[in-house]
Amino acid sequence: MVFGWTTVFFKTRQLGYLNQLRTISQTAYTHPSSSAAFSKLSSEDISYLKGIVTPRGVVEEKEALEPFNTDWIGKYKGNTSLALKPSCTDQVSQILQFCYEKKLPIVPQGGNTGLVGGSVPVFDEIVLNLGNMNRIRDFDSKSGIVTCEAGVVLETLSNFVNEQGYTFPLDLGAKGSCQIGGNLATNAGGTRFLRYGSLHGSTLGLEVVLSNGKVLNMLSSLRKDNTGYHLPHLFIGSEGTLGVITAASICCPKKCRSVHTALLGVESFDKVTELLVRCKDEVGEILSAFEFMDRNAVQLATKLLSHVRDPFSSTFPFYVLIETSGSNENHDMEKLEKFLESCYSADWISDAVLAQDQSQMNQLWTLRESMPEAVNRSGKYIFKYDLSIPLEHFYDLVSEMRSRLADYTCQVVSWGHIGDCNLHLNISSSDSNESLSNLIEPYVYEWTRAHGGSISAEHGVGRVKSKYLSMSKDKQVIDLMKQMKQLLDPHGILNPYKIFSKEE
Amino acid sequence: MVFGWTTVFFKTRQLGYLNQLRTISQTAYTHPSSSAAFSKLSSEDISYLKGIVTPRGVVEEKEALEPFNTDWIGKYKGNTSLALKPSCTDQVSQILQFCYEKKLPIVPQGGNTGLVGGSVPVFDEIVLNLGNMNRIRDFDSKSGIVTCEAGVVLETLSNFVNEQGYTFPLDLGAKGSCQIGGNLATNAGGTRFLRYGSLHGSTLGLEVVLSNGKVLNMLSSLRKDNTGYHLPHLFIGSEGTLGVITAASICCPKKCRSVHTALLGVESFDKVTELLVRCKDEVGEILSAFEFMDRNAVQLATKLLSHVRDPFSSTFPFYVLIETSGSNENHDMEKLEKFLESCYSADWISDAVLAQDQSQMNQLWTLRESMPEAVNRSGKYIFKYDLSIPLEHFYDLVSEMRSRLADYTCQVVSWGHIGDCNLHLNISSSDSNESLSNLIEPYVYEWTRAHGGSISAEHGVGRVKSKYLSMSKDKQVIDLMKQMKQLLDPHGILNPYKIFSKEE
């Protein structure tokens, strides 16, 4: 077992390669035409809307609109002619009130790092980008409750609460670009979910602007408040289709003084699942991440990205990244070392590296977090899946896809937050091949449904999965969702063509 | 500092003294008349409804109906002539479908341990008691996810998951009687909230029957599922007014091998708040409870309840009960002892006892959990408040009420989950005195609002606080709540006269 290796410096957890990605055909996903119920944006409308925001809050030039029209993976392209960047809640309210009256469709947009085409227009919907609403309104140093605007970048927020002695309960690879409003609207999961749970648990309150412009102030600096319905939860994960989140109050746990990261090489998937159960038991309350990668994923990342390294000298079929966060350095190290040693003795792990400093920790996290970038570079056509699959079947789908696609030149790689049964399955190919595509979809979704999983664990439905919604939810439940949509957005102007498919 | 004391045996955490409590006048809270929109229950209706459930699922005798008509503290009495105890979801669905068609009002009822009169009829509403739906449907030993019916008693559920190596994330004094369905419907908080957070974080899915009898199957054995709106959260905390929760899937954390309990005597409230901040920091990830009691509360409990003892030989103005739960006995004990010693040296605590065995732990918890029983026995007229108050003002209200009521013969006692800023303020008096009552209400609620708190931290609104709802929520937010009620229960048959006051 290797408990140390030479220090390597990396610029880590940054995602700034949008422009290197390719735009990919997505005929299968587009709605055939924009809804006739909406009005066409007129020059008078534009003049009025421009008057609401400051000059730096208006984007009209075709080229400048490109990043507002194109999603993060370059797969979905809208055709808006107007992006508005309000700087306060009142401006959001005025914009929505006008759009509501005029029946003008609008797409709320945060950092635009989503993976299901949810944050860009399908046609010419106005983009409402929250990026200029980026103030931290309040922080209570005794309770760790932060109240901030929707446009605060996750990394900025995370660094801010860190400096105050707290940890932000959400962390994900896109932290350098994604915004807290978008995180909430998509109920983002990420690597800390295992320890700190979902945003439904951490979020104490929201400020939301409804489609008609009415502002709902549901912010709260109280951990407990049982007065009436818990409405903020309705907006968490609603992907901007029920209202626009403009601010949030979130409860942050105390910062852990002692953080350790280890990478384990594992010979079989059965051993990975055993490790997880054992790790939860032995490392217990200090376990803060349990991430999974398969050999193909690690190979791809180290091959395609020069800043990514595999710290092992041998290769393994599976890799597990463990992070612990606790309050006592000696206790934590003792627990982790004891766990690693017992696993090694019992042959559950074949090798392990334990990061000795921040730089080595970064190196391990870089390996894990570079996966999306690596797969995006690996082929022109990429099929990305974000699935919840019960542990006993977790890797079966990956193996099955490899055999199913054996005759094609493509790569099947997987990684994920296995501690939460969340698999990221990716298939990349250099050629556009209809028969390959037909072998993949809807099979992946059908398989997931048949094995009791969810077709979207943490990325949401957006545009990509709207036609498969019924594979995860009963008709009665979808019917109630539609009633909610009708109640809160009767003109359907908020993020149209998302979540629900046209057929439904 | 005392680190041990003689063992005393207690039958702890049982609440079975309903019949000892007095029924108290509540004129101020009753609605003047039942709604004219509802039908009167006819003998034909009764015959039909009786045909849906099994014979043991029908209660009609006046005396047998008494516990269904009377709330836990004996304060609210309804006048139903029919209580139904369905044994499956389909029966609940049939009952509601009939009541919906006939416009018959109905009160969903769990263990009936609520403190805001939410689970008993106001007039003659039918009682739908879920107590016979008490099966644990499924448990996944690898993930700790339990799926069970609404009528499972919290303690039964807690013991069940405990035997499987897990901890139920909710614990409260009424555990021996309350049911998980009621806990969810009221978003119960309790003593483990500090460690495991709210039910919004732990609940993965619900099965709910809507007012029209439609069954929504939103159960889930997945920690992550971002497919569409997160509807279960709408029913958590809706107090049976939007739908009837019939089953739930809840994620349980691993059971902690090492649990320790300590009671601290503290000289001032400032020191209590300092202790909390320090404890979160030093005891960190193993802190599982931080409970507060004032001298009056401890004095009352030890005086009125023979099974309750104060382990200290001296008295203190304030008491804090700390519990730690972790995976390593030595580490946990080291952290806790170090914390206690440092607090003692710094004069933050005046004395401390650390329970040496399960029996002593029970003794400390009995002291804390006997508070409601003690206060109920202390006077004929009891004013109970469950408030969220920011830490800096937490005890000010108690002190203020003592001066405000100095001329009256009454007792002002307080305790609470101070780790979550949740104060239970109780005022008891032997005489019914209108001027005393007028000095208390609405002052307590106004003071709470003025200091940024919530008029109901964990008990809900029910009947008691409906007229004060606007003190915690904006009009726009209450309006949306009402729209939700209208959408989900258009005839208003589900738990009428609760949450919303007639005036609103």
Res. B32 pLDDT band, cuts 50 70 90? low
Res. B29 pLDDT band, cuts 50 70 90? very low
What pLDDT, on a 0 to 100 scale, did the predictor assign at position A13?
29
CB contact under 8 A, B226 and A186: yes
What pLDDT, on a 0 to 100 scale, did the predictor assign at position A321?
98
CB contact under 8 A, A198 and B224: yes
Q: How far apart are CA A504 and CA A471, in angstroms?
A: 13
> How many angstroms separate the Cα of A193 from the Cα of each of A142, A234, A418?
23, 19, 11
Q: What is the ipTM of this complex?
A: 0.93
Is B380 within 8 Å of chain A by CB? Answer: no
Q: Which of B323, B343, B371 is the last residue of a domain?
A: B371
My answer on whether A171 and A273 are in the same domain is no
Q: Which residues of A touch B482 (CB under 8 A)?
A: none
B113 min Cα distance to partner chain A (Å): 16
Is A338 within 8 Å of chain B by CB? Answer: no
> Which of A229, A254, A342 is most worth mutating to test chain B (most B CB atoms within 10 A of its CB)?
A229
Please report, for the domain that includes residue A148, its CATH number. 3.30.465.10
Q: How far apart are CA A443 and CA A436, in angstroms?
A: 11
Q: Which of A326, A335, A474 sits opposite B284 (nearest CB)?
A: A326
CB contact under 8 A, A222 and B457: yes
Q: Which of A216, A233, A251 is the last residue of a domain?
A: A251
Query: Is residue B431 in a domain?
Result: no
What pLDDT, on a 0 to 100 scale, did the predictor assign at position B14?
30
- Determine the Cα angle at B76 with ends B292 and B118, to 5°: 70
Of A167-171, A377-381, B57-61, B289-293, the range with the lowest mean pLDDT is A377-381
Q: Which of B221, B227, B456 sits opposite A226 (nearest CB)?
A: B456
Mean pLDDT of chain B: 92
Asked whether A403 and A134 are in contact (CB, 8 A), the reply is no
- Pick B244 or A20 by higher pLDDT: B244
Query: Is residue A77 in a domain?
Result: no
**Is the pLDDT assigned to residue B423 strictly greater than 70?**
yes
> Which of B198, B224, B287, B463 is most worth mutating to test chain A (most A CB atoms within 10 A of its CB)?
B224
Q: Which residues of A touch B336 (CB under 8 A)?
A: none
Res. B7 pLDDT band, cuts 50 70 90? very low
Quick one: average pLDDT of B352-360?
A: 96
Query: Is residue A244 in a domain?
Result: yes
Quick one: average pLDDT of A329-358?
A: 96
CB contact under 8 A, B237 and A230: yes
My answer on whether A223 and A264 are in the same domain is no
Q: Six-digit token pair at A442?
A: 């809807």
**Is the pLDDT assigned to residue A369 strictly greater than 90?**
yes
Is B199 within 8 Å of chain A by CB? Answer: no
Q: Which residues of B touch A459 (CB under 8 A)?
A: 226
Of A491-495, B74-78, B315-319, B480-484, the range with the lowest mean pLDDT is B74-78
What pLDDT, on a 0 to 100 scale, did the predictor assign at position B23?
33
CB contact under 8 A, B280 and A254: yes
Among chain A residues, CA nearest to B215: A476
CB contact under 8 A, A474 and B217: yes
CB contact under 8 A, B222 and A457: yes
Element (H, E) at A215: strand A215-218
**Nearest by Cα to B228 from A245, A447, A117, A500:** A500
My answer on whether B273 and B345 are in the same domain is yes
What pLDDT, on a 0 to 100 scale, did the predictor assign at position B75?
84
Q: Assign 3-state DSSP to chain A and report helix, strand, coil percentages, each to 5.
A: 35, 20, 40
Is A183 within 8 Å of chain B by CB? Answer: no
My answer on whether A225 and A280 are in the same domain is no
CB contact under 8 A, B335 and A328: yes
Q: Are strands A83-84 and A106-109 parallel, antiparallel or unpaired?
A: unpaired
Instruction: Say which DSSP state A237 is in.
Output: T
Please report, for the domain that includes residue A355, its CATH number. 3.30.70.2190
Is B342 within 8 Å of chain A by CB? Answer: no
- Which B residues 290-329 touch A at CB under 8 Å? 325-328
Q: Which of B390, B421, B474 sits opposite A217 (nearest CB)?
A: B474
Q: How far apart are CA A359 and CA A361, in angstroms?
A: 5
Amino acid letter, B497: Y
- Percentage of residues in chain A having pLDDT higher than 90: 88
Q: Is the peptide bond before A32 cis (omega within 30 degrees of 0)?
A: no
CB contact under 8 A, B469 and A228: yes
Number of domains in chain A: 2
Res. A132 pLDDT band, cuts 50 70 90? very high
Q: Is the peptide bond before A442 cis (omega within 30 degrees of 0)?
A: yes
3-state secondary structure of B390: coil
**Is the pLDDT assigned to residue B170 strictly greater than 80?**
yes
My answer on whether B124 and B195 are in the same domain is no
Q: Give me the half-sphere count of Cα atoms (radius 13 Å) on the Cβ side of residue A393.
A: 15
Asked whether B207 and B219 are in contact (CB, 8 A), the reply is yes
CB contact under 8 A, A461 and B228: yes
Is B31 within 8 Å of chain A by CB? Answer: no
What pLDDT, on a 0 to 100 scale, did the predictor assign at position B33?
65
Res. A240 pLDDT band, cuts 50 70 90? very high
Query: Is residue A53 in a domain?
Result: no
Q: Six-digit token pair at A205?
A: 């309150």
**Nearest by Cα to B288 from B170, B399, B369:** B170
Query: Is residue A362 in a domain?
Result: yes
CA torsion sign for B444, B449, B452, B454 is positive
CB contact under 8 A, A228 and B461: yes
Q: Which strands, in side-by-side order, build the sheet including A106-109?
A: A58-59, A83-84, A126-129, A106-109
Cα dihedral A260/A266/A268/A272 (nearest 10): -10
Per-residue pLDDT of B144-158, as tens digits, reads: 999 999 999 999 999
**Is the pLDDT assigned to residue A448 strictly greater than 70?**
yes
CB contact under 8 A, B224 and A326: no
What pLDDT, on a 0 to 100 scale, did the predictor assign at position A28?
36
**Is the pLDDT assigned to residue A173 strictly greater than 70?**
yes
Q: Which of B222, B226, B236 sits opposite A453 (nearest CB)?
A: B222
My answer on whether B292 and B212 are in the same domain is no
Quick one: average pLDDT of A249-268?
A: 97
Whose tokens are 């019914």? That residue is: B432
Query: Is residue A171 in a domain?
Result: yes
Per-residue pLDDT of B271-324, as tens digits, reads: 999 999 999 989 989 999 999 999 999 999 999 999 999 999 999 999 999 999
Instruction: Say which DSSP state A405 is in.
Output: T
Q: Six-digit token pair at B454?
A: 């919530």
> Which of B96, B226, B251, B252 is most worth mutating to test chain A (most A CB atoms within 10 A of its CB)?
B226
Among chain A residues, CA nearest to B208: A477
- Which B residues 204-263 touch A at CB under 8 Å? 210, 214-218, 220-231, 233-234, 236-238, 242, 254, 256
Q: Which of B284, B331, B477 sits opposite A218 (nearest CB)?
A: B477
Residues whose CB is less than 8 angstroms from the CB of residue B47 and which lie 6 or more positions away in sequence, other chains included: none
My answer on whether B235 and B264 are in the same domain is no
Q: Which residues of A touch B420 (CB under 8 A)?
A: 223-224
Produce one character per residue of A110-146: b if its CB has 16 or more CB atoms within 10 Å, e if not. Answer: bbbbbbbbbbbbbbbbbbbbbbbbbeeeebbeebbbb
CB contact under 8 A, B226 and A457: yes
CB contact under 8 A, B477 and A216: yes
Q: Which residues of B touch A490 (CB under 8 A)?
A: none
My answer on whether A245 and A341 are in the same domain is no
My answer on whether A274 and A290 are in the same domain is yes
Q: How far apart are CA B70 and CA B120, in angstroms?
A: 6
CA torsion sign for B482, B487, B491, B493 is negative
Residues spanned by the domain of B287: 258-371
My answer on whether B319 and B216 are in the same domain is no
List, as one string, the DSSP characters of B313-343.
SS--SEEEEEEEEES-HHHHHHHHHHHHHHH
Please report, for the domain that includes residue B92, its CATH number. 3.30.43.10
Q: Which of A371, A403, A427 is the last residue of a domain?
A: A371
Q: How far apart are CA B170 and CA B148, in angstroms?
A: 15
My answer on whether B223 and B269 are in the same domain is no
Quick one: average pLDDT of B402-406?
A: 96
Per-residue pLDDT of A458-481, as tens digits, reads: 999 999 999 999 999 999 999 999
Q: Six-digit token pair at B434?
A: 């209108």
Q: Which residues of A touch B226 (CB under 8 A)?
A: 186-187, 189, 237, 454, 456-461
Say how many CB pairs under 8 Å bridge A and B: 263
My answer on whether A367 and A267 are in the same domain is yes
Q: Which residues of B touch A210 (CB under 8 A)?
A: 480
> How many angstroms separate the Cα of B484 from the Cα of each of B118, B135, B301?
19, 30, 43
> Which of A285, A325, A420, A500 is most worth mutating to test chain B (most B CB atoms within 10 A of its CB)?
A285
- Which A residues 410-449 touch B at CB under 8 Å? 417, 420-422
Q: Which residues of B touch A465 (CB under 8 A)?
A: 227
What pLDDT, on a 0 to 100 scale, did the predictor assign at position A9?
25
Query: Is residue B108 in a domain?
Result: yes
**Is the pLDDT assigned to residue A2 strictly greater than 70?**
no
B274 min Cα distance to partner chain A (Å): 9
Mean pLDDT of chain A: 92
Query: Is residue A383 in a domain?
Result: no
